[in-house]
Structure 1
Amino acid sequence: MIRMEIMSTERRYFDVAVVIPLEEECQEFLEVFDLGEDFSTEFLFRSAINLANSDLTMIVIKQEGMGRTHAGNAIASVLEEFDIGLAVCLGIAGSLSDDLQLGDVCYSTQVFDVLDNAKASDNKGGIDIEFSPTHYRTDRSLVACLNFMRLKRELRPLYKAWRSDRGDFAKTLVPGPLVGRKGRAESLHEPKALEGTVACAAVTKSEEYNEKLRKIDRKVLAVETESGAVYEKASAKAISALTIRGISDHADATKNELEASSRGGRSQGSCRQRCTLPTATAWQPRICGLPEEETPIEWQVSSTRTERSQWRAFPSRNIQ
């Protein structure tokens, strides 16, 4: 008689996988969330996150380096080993819209990626770039979940409290004026959160380049360098993706001057703003099909391997 051993194919499941580009951003994330079980590889920091008073499961991954390739490698390392419900790209971005000021937060309704299939050609002594962007959309129910924090009666106080708390925190980092858009003075303020289009593109302080991005979508909010890869890898596995970005500059010629005048304070503030935003959002239990006694404080994704993600609300931990 031949004895056969059956190997288990069960994979560890996380509701949310958070990809973070830079160590300074990851440090701010860890000021808000507590580390759990370590899953680091030889090259990547990966850790489960302990979320008190919630059955949400989360893993955070810090990229090995900045940019699209490293973002793709980071999320791919998780997808190869674990099952996840939502991929989140968390970081800072440059504002391309007058609607977003330093310290504000944006989250993606869609992402367009111009880093693949771009064409460069000579033009009147300079270089012209033509884009052939790839477009990715965020799940509408997730965007609605985030939007409701500004609209629903029981959630608006949470959003207002977040703005007030983060505004006070920002002023402790940079109490005076900064070099803002087009060299105008700008001060850190109570942040706001807006939904909209995010561009995954080159690091830019070129107005000509920025205008080309705006021609793809005139309402584009911000530009960064990683989200396209996270959306690409997640969508290939039929997994929802989202990017959340704190505004650290205006993607213009004042970037270096802004960095010098703030001594890194505005980046720290932008990192902390977008880290704390998700824990201040939710929607009504009855909209999600939950019992009314569930307290709608924190959003989370809950899904199985065979069911589409559904958005639910659970009591949140206290945020420092």
Structure 2
Amino acid sequence: MAGGNDDALRLDARHALSTRRAALMRMGAIGLAAVFVGRGVRAAETHPGDPNTGYHKLAVTAKDYAFELPRRVPAGHTEITLRNEGSEEHHAMFMRLNTGTTTADFMRAAKQQDIAALFAISSSIGGPGSVDHGQASTVIINLLPGAYVVICIVPDAQGMPHYKMGMLAALTVTEAAHAEDAPAADLTIDLVDFAFDQLPRQIRGGQHLWKVLDTGAQLHEMVLNRLAPGVSFEQAKAILMAPPTKPTAATGADASSATAHAAPFTAVAGVAPMNPASVNWAVLNLADGDYFAVCYVPDPKTGRPHFDLGMIAPFSVTS
């Protein structure tokens, strides 16, 4: 990347991404430590099953700023696909409500400024991770019976989490007649404090099923980004690590610019933020290219995004 136009693109990308960084740092500074650290959901015990076993499918459509999905689904291992028809990056966090908490309680808590209010009455079991416009993300989750709310906590360019703009939807998981075994994964990724443990540097192209576990003490996510041709991991990392900047007339950047239009990489798959001890299976179909995994969740002690603490890693895909 060279020349004036490329420099403007870099500045625009830096503004859009650092705005998200700044918003995440604010979220990390609102007392999440008491909620996230040492608190988690115990994943249901599972055993490897037949990889050809079919699962109930749940389709979720993300728009600016709303979800479309069924209101009720049966319990069990479920293949959940998020399709992003919005202009901004979105994910789908499945928040399982604590016993005695109602959907109305959750909706009232969602109006509070402090996101910790949501985690005081519910826990995230993960879900399809952040993807840009036109992309789709698929995971398999063992949905237990109960009440859920699906939310997006990705902030807009002004730092407003999408769920506060209407991006949340209630879901009831009903008892099922029988339960399917867990899928057999071809790779296991541990989300630890602060790294993607066991993520290879080189991966074959095509279809994959990754078992992704949060074995750390904090909430973690895994966003898989595909780098644009000619863009290095070091360049992308530098953009993410840069301090927040303001748009200028020279760059033509605007505070409402979507990351998808500015960044030299595209979010194509992943797993949404999930509480410790949670497990998702990421269903992937990776094209050849250069990628990196990243976690944007803020550290409750410092407010710094986890990628600042080392939770960012490159890998390449080749057929």
Q: Of Structure 1 and Structure 2, which has the larger fraction of its residues in strand?
A: 2
Q: Of Structure 1 and Structure 2, which has the larger fraction of its residues in helix?
A: 1
Q: Which has the larger radius of gyration?
A: 1
Q: TM-score, normalised by structure 1?
A: 0.26
Q: Tell me: higher relative CO, structure 1 or 2? Use CA pairs within 8 A at least 6 residues apart.
A: 2
Q: TM-score, normalised by structure 2?
A: 0.26
